[in-house]
Structures are given as C-alpha cells and as structure tokens.
Amino acid sequence: MSNCFTPSYSIFTHSVGYHTASHSLLTKLNSIASAGINGVEIFTDDLYHFSQSAEFASILASKQVSALLTPPDSPLSQHAALRSSSKTATAQNKYYGAFGECTNAEAQLEIAAAEHIKTYCDHLGLEIVCLQPLRDVEGWVSTSDRANAMERVKSRFPIMQALNTNLLLICSNNTPAPATTGDHSSLVCDLTQISDMAFSFTQSTGHPIRVGFEALSWGSHIDLWAQAWSVVKATNRVNIGLILDSFNTLAREFADPCSSTAIQEPSTITRSNLALSFKKIVAQVPGDKIFLLQIGDAKKLNKALQPSPREGEPRPSRMIWSRSSRLFPCEKERGAFMPVEDFVKAVCDAGYTGPWSIEVFNDSLSNSSSEVPILHARRARAGLDKLVEAVYH
C-alpha cells in the first residue's frame, strides 16, 4: 500500500486489566511501558477510581511527593482543604464529573490525580493520547438531560489539561428513544455546542481541545462509522473529528454474534458491502479528520447469542460480545476472525498518520492475578507488530 509510515503504538488502560483491587492504574501504566508501547488512552473510570483510592490518598499525604511533583497552587498541594470540603459549598455551586453531579472535593481530587498521572507517564515515557470515554452525550430530548450532558463534557476539559492531552473521545449514545433522538440536525447542534465550549476553554487557558466522535456498534441511533462521519462533517469544526474503531466497525458491518457462523449472512453480500465501506473511508474521510484509530479483533462464540435487547436482557447482543470476547490484532490462534488488516489499510490509505491504539475488552482481564497487566500488554505489543507487518508488507 502507499503512504507507508511507522506508526506509534498506544493502548487503552482498561485493556490490560479490569480488576480494580489488583490492577491499579499505576501498575497498568508500568506494564504498558515495559511492553514497549509508548502511548496510552486513559480510561475515565480508571482515573476516577485512582483518585478515590488509598494508593492516591497515601500520595497526597506525603508532603515530600507533593512538593516534588507539583507547584504550590496545584490541587495536589491542597489535599487537606480538599478532604475538609463541606457539602454546604456544593449546595451553592454544582460540580460535575464524567458521570454527572459530584462534590467539589471529588472534582478537585480527580484533577489532582490527573496531574499525578501526567507526571508518572512523563517518567515512563508514555504519551497520553486521549481521555475516554464520555458516554451518552448527544441526542438528549429533554432540556435538563441535555444540559447535564454538556456539563459532563465541560468537566473533562480541566482533566485533559492536567493530563496534558488534547483529545476527548465521545462514543455514540446507547440510551434509546424516546429519551434520545437520532435527528441529524439535533446531533449537529450538540457537537457544535461542544465545539464552542472547547474553543472557549482553549481561549481562556491556552490548552487545545479536540473531540472525537465514535459510532458504537450497538449505539441507539448512531451505529455506523458513516453516520458518525455525517454528523462530524456537517458540524464542520476543526476541533471535532471522527474516531474509527476496527471492532465497532466490523462488529456492525461484518460480524453477527447471534449467527452460528458469527458472520452476517449471506456472507458474500456482507463481504462485498464491507469492501465498499472501506472504499468510502478512503474516498470520503480526510486523514486529518480521523482523530484516532482504535484496533481490536474478536473471537467467535462457542454458542451464538440470542438477539437482544429483549425481556430479561436489556443489553444489546453486540455489547455483550464486545465486553467478553475482543482480542488483540492478529491473534488467529485465539480465534480472531475479522478482517482487521483490511480495515486498518483503508484508514491509512485515507491519510491517517496518528497512533495505532489498542482497545480490547475480554473476560480474561477480570482475572485478579498480578500477571494480567503485563501479559496483556505484551500480547498487545506482539499483535501490533504483526499488524504492521501485515499492513505494510
């Protein structure tokens, strides 16, 4: 293929360990760096849990560490005040985090934790590629739900500044109608407001903010990359772009976890339509509007899932499959079966030159063994090396 380049590697921190008690964020960052991966996507939940952990409380309690890592006006140097923050203050002013309203202490602790993680990543030689995900943002029908979503978005900007990353990933809303809408003009309006908020933050702080929109394969209204691109293109803002994810694209356009073959039937038509979709990526999406490439494969299930959501199972079938069975690229020996290499070729042919970032969820990540993070980080590195070979040679 043309436009050959040597990509940098990145990985989502959740993709090397789920078990919060055994796989701390610092442990996972150490494992990622040890495996020779030089970039990370910080999982919002990982950062929040770290900010609330005994491990971080110990760091805050150490005056020596606080003085070494932070300036006097940093939240890290204000830990005593943070821990004594009263609920009276939060009654007068609302504070927000990624999940909704929170206390002022929680908000400030998260910023302090982000500052520490930034310094820690600098020490390890890790670039923080993005903060992700922010869920269920676009398309809310009620004024209060929409306002809450916008406050959650704004809450991420100081965290991003503390992490020294400029990219926020928003995945398509999984909340169904009638609470949400897929109306195109409404979604464009939402992303336009987010763009304005990001520009305002940049003007006031000097820290650039970009927002990438990703189509989840089980999104309630947006579940195809072309739909997400249509909204991004119509928004027409330099700080709003597209996230392309191999799993979510192929899970929606190629695979079917409810089929005995795991492929949408008839497979000949599926493969033909997929090839056309890849051609459209190359022809329609400028490389500089692809803000991040995420990579993951998956295995076929031993038993096909029943279609859902349904009574007794509110989760979409593709979500169930996604959370349990993703694999690192090129792991054919473990059952990987989707055409990830062809997808990555298409994205690169479109002109993308950013990091190749792993995003994998698998039941194996919930194992409490202390070896899980390093073993999965090594698998990720090996898969990326094989993928580069497959794409460029």
Mean of the pLDDT values across residues 197-214? 98
Per DSSP, the residues of 23-67 read S-HHHHHHHHHHTT--EEEEEHHHHHHHHTSHHHHHHHH-HHHHH
**Residue in this structure with the two tokens 């993308």, named with its chain if needed:** 352
pLDDT of 254: 98
At 298, which helix (H) or strand (E)? strand 297-298
Q: Report the candidate in 107, 116, 106 with the shortest Cα–Cα distance to residue 29.
A: 116
Beta bridge partners of 128: 40
Model confidence at 383: pLDDT above 60: yes
pLDDT of 90: 37
Q: What is the pLDDT of residues 63-86, one digit of tens each?
A: 444 455 555 555 445 443 443 343
| Residues 319, 247 contacting (CB under 8 angstroms) | no
Model confidence at 110: pLDDT above 60: yes
Buried b (16+ CB within 10 A) or exposed e, 326-342: bbbbbbeeeebbbbbbb
Name the pLDDT band for 6 (thresholds 50, 70, 90).
confident
| Residues 187, 231 contacting (CB under 8 angstroms) | yes
Amino acid (one-letter) located at 142? S
The residue ranges of every structural domain in the chain are 9-52+95-392
**Residue 219 to residue 200: CA distance in whole angstroms:** 29
Token code pair at residue 93? 């002013």
pLDDT of 21: 86
- Give percent above pLDDT 90 in the chain: 89
- Give percent above pLDDT 70 in the chain: 91
Say whether 300 sits in a helix, a strand or coil: coil
pLDDT of 231: 98
Q: What is the pLDDT of residues 302-350, one digit of tens each?
A: 999 999 999 999 999 999 999 999 999 999 999 999 999 999 999 999 9
Model confidence at 226: pLDDT above 50: yes
**Beta strands 210-214 and 167-171, pairing class:** parallel
Q: What is the pLDDT of residues 171-201, one digit of tens each?
A: 999 999 999 999 999 999 999 999 999 999 9
- Could you name the CATH architecture of 9-52+95-392? Alpha-Beta Barrel (3.20)
Token code pair at residue 35? 């495996």
pLDDT of 64: 47
pLDDT of 83: 38
Token code pair at residue 232? 């991004």
pLDDT of 20: 86
In angstroms, how far is the first alpha carbon of the chain from the final one? 8
Mean pLDDT, the chain, whole residue set: 93
